[in-house]
Amino acid sequence: MNLDSDQALVSIVIPTYNHADFLKEAITSVIDQTYSNWEAILVNNYSDDDTIEIVKSFSEPRIHLFNFHNNGIIGAARNHGILHARGKFLAFLDSDDSWLPDKLERCLQALDENTDLVCHALHCFGDIEKNMFCGPASNATFDALLNKGNCLTPSAVVVRKQAISLVEGFSEEKKFVTSEDYHLWIKLAQSGARMKFINDILANYRIHAGNQSGDVLKHLDSVLHVIQSFYRENKHTSILTSIKIRRRYAIAYYGAARAMQKSFQFAKAWPLLLRSFLYWPFIARNYLLIILNVFKRN
């Protein structure tokens, strides 16, 4: 293990709301870590299920429970956890996800003096079964994140608390809800944070059913607001910048259309495909997506 991270305290921020059915698995995966110098900060949005009883059942002094109204803004819950964090490093775990036992140990080994953030691969399960590989580092620069899209996810990240403090944590603006992590990664890259990626699977990421079309459109709207917020900083928009914005919007609409297809909502994918095509007709994948949509194939 690196001298820089040897025995360093890791503060694990776990926001939760009515996830009692999953929370025990998440907490158990933290307790089972091979790296033992951690504290878990559970930020409970006043759940009305058995969340508090489950936390208390562990009788673990390294677990700290805070009740906090986040008003539907998960970034506020994570910031509240960061506020109470005592560790040199921060890790984030959604309460319906879980970690493999060596997650913290592997990430701390990778956090050398030239690294501010480590992100690893995950196994997705639930509605969809697949492996998710984050990164690579070339996609985690400021320009790449802004113009190509997100390549990190909270439950896979361990980061220096100092780096998070430098960019003032997660945004708590409502317009960024569901993309507040994407907004944070761009801010970190803009500030010069150095990121490293591990291709090994060190966590399990749960994919839920639900109001798929509503969730997709809400997420699309939040992504567009994130893009706009950073481009708005450039008051003198050049032709090249305008082209980049149109291409980025096309990618966002393409992603939303693909998500609709994956949930077999082909009719709702059409207007998203059209918007993507109108913004930037040179995305080859769009044409394949149109063919798939015609024949209603996932």
Q: What is the CATH number of the domain that holds 199?
A: 3.90.550.10
CATH number, domain containing residue 272: 1.25.40
Predicted pLDDT at 238: 87
Q: Residues 281, 170: one domain?
A: no
Predicted pLDDT at 212: 57
Backbone angles phi, psi at 196, to 5 degrees: -135, 145
Amino acid found at 17 = Y
Predicted pLDDT at 210: 47
pLDDT tens digits along 91-135:
999 999 999 999 999 999 999 999 999 999 999 998 889 999 999
Q: Which of these three, 183, 207, 231, is where a domain ends? A: 207
Structural domains of the chain, count: 2
* Cβ pair 13, 81 in contact under 8 A: yes
Q: Is a pLDDT exceeding 90 seen at residue 208?
A: no
In a domain, 5, yes or no: no
Q: Which domain holds residue 290?
A: 212-294
Backbone angles phi, psi at 93, to 5 degrees: -140, 120
Helix (H/G/I), strand (E/B), else coil: 278? helix
The strand pairing partners of 123, in sequence order, are 131, 204
More confident residue, 205 or 211: 205
For tokens 């317009």, what's the residue? 175
Q: Residues 236, 103: one domain?
A: no
Q: Which of 5, 236, 38 is nearest to 117 (CA)?
A: 5
Q: What percent of the chain has a predicted confidence (pLDDT) above 70?
A: 96
Q: Is a pLDDT exceeding 80 seen at residue 235?
A: no
Q: How confident is the model at residue 211 (pLDDT cuts 50, 70, 90)?
A: very low
Q: Is a pLDDT exceeding 70 seen at residue 1?
A: no
Q: Residues 39, 167: one domain?
A: yes
In a domain, 262, yes or no: yes
Q: Residues 202, 250: one domain?
A: no
Q: Residues 170, 230: one domain?
A: no
In a domain, 2, yes or no: no
In a domain, 231, yes or no: yes
Q: Residues 182, 51: one domain?
A: yes
Backbone angles phi, psi at 15, to 5 degrees: -75, 145
Q: Residues 66, 192: one domain?
A: yes
Average pLDDT, the chain: 94
Q: Residues 96, 234: one domain?
A: no
Q: Is a pLDDT exceeding 80 seen at residue 170?
A: yes
The strand pairing partners of 92, in sequence order, are 13
In a domain, 3, yes or no: no
Q: Residues 180, 233: one domain?
A: no
Q: Residues 185, 245: one domain?
A: no
* Cβ pair 111, 89 in contact under 8 A: yes
Q: How confident is the model at residue 298 (pLDDT cuts 50, 70, 90)?
A: confident
Q: Is a pLDDT exceeding 70 seen at residue 236?
A: no
Exposed/middle/buried for 16, CB within 10 Å: 0-12, 13-18, 19+? Answer: buried
In a domain, 4, yes or no: no
Backbone angles phi, psi at 278, to 5 degrees: -70, -35
Q: How many CA atoms lie within 13 A of 184 on its CB side?
A: 28
Considering Cα of 276, then 281, then 283, then 289, what sign does the dihedral take?
A: positive
Q: Residues 15, 158: one domain?
A: yes
Q: Which of these three, 174, 207, 240, is where a domain ends? A: 207
Amino acid found at 253 = Y
CB contact set of 253 (below 8 Å; sequence gap of 6+): 220, 272, 273, 275, 276, 279
Q: Is a pLDDT exceeding 80 seen at residue 161?
A: yes
pLDDT tens digits along 40-68:
999 999 999 999 999 999 999 999 999 99
Q: Which of these three, 182, 207, 232, is where a domain ends? A: 207
In a domain, 1, yes or no: no
In a domain, 25, yes or no: yes
Rounded distance between C-alpha atoms, residue 104 and residue 202, angstroms: 9
Q: Residues 113, 186: one domain?
A: yes
